[in-house]
């Protein structure tokens, strides 16, 4: 299969959707190519192959200490069948059966798209994680699954206010002296910054963070890579702690996403560092309780399936960028524009130097 036929299958999908409901936006329709996805935690890649899925495309991952210097390999087929099935390999591996891979930040990044375009410089920069992935504590890596496509799950995360009511029992309510939202973007990323003064102290900061004050300030930056769904988040609580984290929303299928989270609160006190990643087990079901019924609405034929608000600026920008990328890809343009630079250092953007 050539790149052209990849593009054709995209527009077939769009045409099929257009026939049923031309005016409804649906988060399930995006299949953006030429991107690096952190498909698996590096430590889980062993001689026994593990399968992951990106947009219904299989990725078998393994490593053999005696081959390729022990580097992680990713193939379209189980490695035992690779020799026999190689002739059926698709354009995603250029007919070789093997995907381009890079190990970085504790993940194996695999390329989804035309392998000739797989440039490691396009891997998102994550300034707070060790590049070689060494010394990332295992308990800081957690997996969550959502009954929603990757864009819908990302949209929920971008939504500023959802935490105030959905996660009020852990992250805190919406009471504060002031609450400012800023949004900036490139052709590939949306960055949303929320600056809250004198917010009620987050319950987790009281339980396990040792914060005794009544109020705290919060500066939370969320940096979203639109094409891949990799989201990089830097919340800073004062008094309190930094909770830098990566949530890569892997687009498994049209109604399912998988997130291999790294929550790297490495500068926080011991108890907080140990416990905070486990709070995810409280938070993620709360998020799924919202996105799952949303997904059902998009599938069912109802009056109005999409209830998005145009006043949600970062969310609206995210959708707009998704649509622009999809439009360019429908026209056969898979390139990254000059303003994008997914690999540029974002430590300043995240406010790590403040
Ligand atoms: Fe949430």
Model pLDDT for residues 326-339, shown as the tens digit of each residue:
999 999 999 999 99
Rounded to the nearest angstrom, the distance between the alpha carbon of 104 and the centre of ligand 1 is 26
Confidence (pLDDT) at 23:
57
Average pLDDT over residues 105-127: 98
Model pLDDT for residues 58-91, shown as the tens digit of each residue:
999 999 999 999 999 999 999 999 999 999 999 9
The DSSP 8-state label assigned to residue 139 in this structure reads G
What strand order describes the sheet that includes 215-225?
A: 141-146, 256-263, 245-253, 230-238, 215-225, 189-200, 178-185
Rounded to the nearest angstrom, the distance between the alpha carbon of 64 and the centre of ligand 1 is 38
Q: Are 175 and 189 in contact (CB under 8 A)?
A: no
Q: Are 179 and 196 in contact (CB under 8 A)?
A: yes
**Helices 150-158 and 313-330 meet at what angle, rounded to 10?**
150
Please say if the pLDDT value at position 54 is more than 60. yes
Please say if the pLDDT value at position 184 is more than 90. yes
Model pLDDT for residues 1-30, shown as the tens digit of each residue:
334 444 444 444 444 444 444 456 788 889
Confidence (pLDDT) at 17:
47
For the entire predicted model, the pTM comes to 0.91
Average pLDDT over residues 225-245: 96
Confidence (pLDDT) at 1:
37
Rounded to the nearest angstrom, the distance between the alpha carbon of 197 and the centre of ligand 1 is 20
Please say if the pLDDT value at position 39 is more than 90. yes
Rounded to the nearest angstrom, the distance between the alpha carbon of 232 and the centre of ligand 1 is 14
Rounded to the nearest angstrom, the distance between the alpha carbon of 126 and the centre of ligand 1 is 21
Rounded to the nearest angstrom, the distance between the alpha carbon of 166 and the centre of ligand 1 is 7
Q: How many Å apart are CA 163 and CA 274, to the nearest integer?
A: 22
**Residue of 112, 187, 189, 230 lying closest to 338 (CA atoms):** 187
Share of the chain above pLDDT 90, in %: 76
**Residue of 258, 261, 257, 205 lying closest to 236 (CA atoms):** 205
With tokens 């929603």, the residue in question is 148
**Residue of 193, 272, 192 lying closest to 240 (CA atoms):** 272
Task: Render 50-86 in DSSP notation, one character per residue.
Answer: EEEEETTEEEEEE--TTSGGG--EEESS-TTTHHHHG
């Amino acid at each position: 299969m050539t790149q052209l036929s990849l593009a054709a299958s995209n527009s077939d999908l769009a045409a099929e959707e257009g026939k049923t409901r031309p005016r409804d936006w649906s988060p399930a329709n995006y299949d953006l190519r030429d991107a690096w996805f952190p498909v698996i935690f590096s430590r889980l890649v062993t001689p026994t192959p593990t399968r992951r899925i990106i947009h219904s495309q299989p990725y078998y991952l393994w490593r053999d200490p005696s081959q390729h210097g022990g580097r992680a390999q990713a193939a379209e087929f189980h490695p035992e069948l690779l020799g026999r099935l190689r002739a059926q390999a698709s354009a995603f591996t250029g007919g070789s059966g093997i995907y381009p891979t890079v190990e970085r930040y504790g993940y194996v990044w695999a390329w989804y798209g035309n392998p000739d375009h797989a440039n490691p410089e396009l891997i998102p920069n994550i300034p707070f994680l060790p590049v070689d992935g060494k010394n990332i504590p295992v308990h800081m890596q957690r997996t969550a699954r959502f009954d929603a496509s990757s864009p819908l799950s990302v949209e929920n995360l971008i939504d500023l206010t959802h935490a105030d009511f959905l996660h009020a029992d852990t992250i805190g309510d919406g009471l504060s002296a002031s609450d400012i939202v800023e949004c900036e973007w490139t052709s590939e990323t949306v960055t949303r910054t929320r600056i809250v003064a004198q917010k009620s102290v987050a319950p987790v900061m009281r339980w396990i963070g040792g914060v005794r004050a009544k109020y705290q300030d919060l500066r939370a930056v969320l940096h979203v890579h639109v094409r891949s769904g990799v989201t990089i988040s830097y919340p800073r609580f004062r008094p309190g702690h930094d909770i830098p984290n990566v949530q890569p929303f892997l687009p498994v299928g049209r109604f399912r996403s998988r997130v291999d989270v790294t929550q790297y609160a490495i500068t926080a006190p011991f108890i907080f560092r140990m416990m905070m990643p486990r709070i995810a087990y409280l938070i993620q079901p709360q998020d799924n309780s919202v996105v799952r019924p949303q997904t059902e609405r998009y599938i069912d034929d109802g009056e109005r399936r999409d209830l998005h608000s145009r006043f949600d600026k970062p969310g609206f920008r995210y959708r707009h960028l998704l649509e622009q990328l999809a439009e360019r890809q429908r026209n056969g343009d898979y390139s990254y524009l000059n303003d994008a630079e997914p690999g540029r250092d974002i430590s300043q953007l995240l406010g790590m130097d403040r």
